């Protein structure tokens, strides 16, 4: 059974669906498989990592510094894990960066931050909220992943997400690169 329910003073309708579905192939699903197995050339997600303190200052990070502190302490673990990811998934690091960039772009849009030309002042006003949005989106994405089976503790997931967010900030996928804003 499915239906739409609208709550008073809500800005958009809320749809609640309670229906079972049968997995069927779709044209869109097939296209996504094709896109995923081909290499994208439009976005070059390789960036020159910035010094952490410079990055914190440029983006005016306060609460979100914790992600960079976690990453700094475990950067070798992350680097080795990225190498392992690339051994298991072709272009795994690029796919990870693309997903993190999508989370970042979604958050920029949420706060109506202009990208071209980039509104650095508005980014700074919302920088901690943007990082928290990215971390939250990453956590939801991971928790909905079929890759994580039983046996992983919540603390392991939180730790891993924190490191991935820190890595994405250092690699200038999330938040702005000081080299681009001289």
Q: Does the pLDDT at position 108 exceed 90? A: yes
CA dist 26 and 169 (Å) reads 35
Q: Does the pLDDT at position 142 exceed 70? A: yes
Q: Is residue 101 part of a domain?
A: yes
Compute the average pLDDT of residues 13-29.
Answer: 67
Compute the average pLDDT of residues 121-144.
Answer: 94
Compute the average pLDDT of residues 61-88.
Answer: 91
Residue 7 confidence class, pLDDT cut points 50, 70, 90: low
52: left (phi over 0), alpha (psi -120 to 50) or beta: alpha
Q: Is residue 15 part of a domain?
A: no
Q: Is residue 68 part of a domain?
A: yes
Q: Does the pLDDT at position 2 exceed 60? A: no
Q: Does the pLDDT at position 103 exceed 90? A: yes
Q: Is residue 6 part of a domain?
A: no
Number of independent structural domains in the chain? 1
Burial of 68 (0-12, 13-18, 19+ CB in 10 A): buried
| pLDDT the model gives residue 178 | 86
Q: Does the pLDDT at position 119 exceed 60? A: yes
Predicted TM-score (pTM) of this structure: 0.76
Q: What is the pLDDT of residues 85-100, one digit of tens each?
A: 999 888 889 999 999 9
- Please give the residue range of the domain that contains residue 127: 47-180
Q: What is the pLDDT of residues 172-181, one digit of tens each?
A: 899 998 888 7
Q: Is residue 32 part of a domain?
A: no
Compute the average pLDDT of residues 97-106.
Answer: 95
DSSP secondary structure string for all residues of 7-70: -TT-SS-EEEE---------HHHHHHHHHHHSPP-S------PPPHHHHHHHHT-STTHHHHHH
Q: Is residue 11 part of a domain?
A: no
Q: Which residue has the tokens 């680097």?
A: 79
DSSP secondary structure string for all residues of 56-106: HHHHT-STTHHHHHHHHHHHHHHHHHHHHHHHHSTTHHHHHHHHHHHHHHH
Q: Is residue 70 part of a domain?
A: yes
Compute the average pLDDT of residues 23-30.
Answer: 69
Using an 8 Å Cβ cutoff, are 39 and 167 in contact?
no
Terminus-to-terminus CA distance in the chain, angstroms? 56
| pLDDT the model gives residue 9 | 75
* Helix, coil or strand: residue 1: coil
Task: From 33, 1, 38, 35, select the one nearest 17 (Cα to Cα).
Answer: 1
Q: Is residue 23 part of a domain?
A: no
| pLDDT the model gives residue 121 | 95
């Amino acid at each position: 059974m499915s239906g739409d329910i609208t709550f008073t003073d809500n800005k958009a309708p809320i749809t609640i669906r309670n229906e079972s579905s049968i997995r069927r192939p779709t044209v869109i699903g097939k296209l996504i498989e094709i896109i995923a197995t081909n290499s994208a050339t439009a976005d070059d997600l390789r960036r020159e990592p910035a010094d952490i303190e410079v990055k914190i200052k440029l983006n005016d990070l306060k609460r979100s510094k914790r992600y960079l502190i976690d990453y700094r302490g475990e950067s070798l673990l992350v680097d080795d894990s990225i190498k392992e990811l690339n051994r298991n998934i072709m272009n795994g690091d690029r796919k990870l960066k693309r997903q993190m960039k999508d989370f970042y772009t979604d958050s920029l849009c949420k706060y109506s931050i202009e990208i071209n030309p980039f509104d650095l002042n508005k980014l700074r006003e919302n920088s901690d909220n943007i990082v928290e949005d990215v971390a939250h989106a990453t956590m939801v994405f991971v928790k909905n992943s079929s890759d994580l089976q039983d046996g992983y503790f919540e603390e392991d997931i939180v730790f891993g997400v924190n490191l991935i967010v820190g890595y994405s900030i250092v690699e200038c996928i999330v938040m702005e690169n000081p080299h681009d804003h001289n």
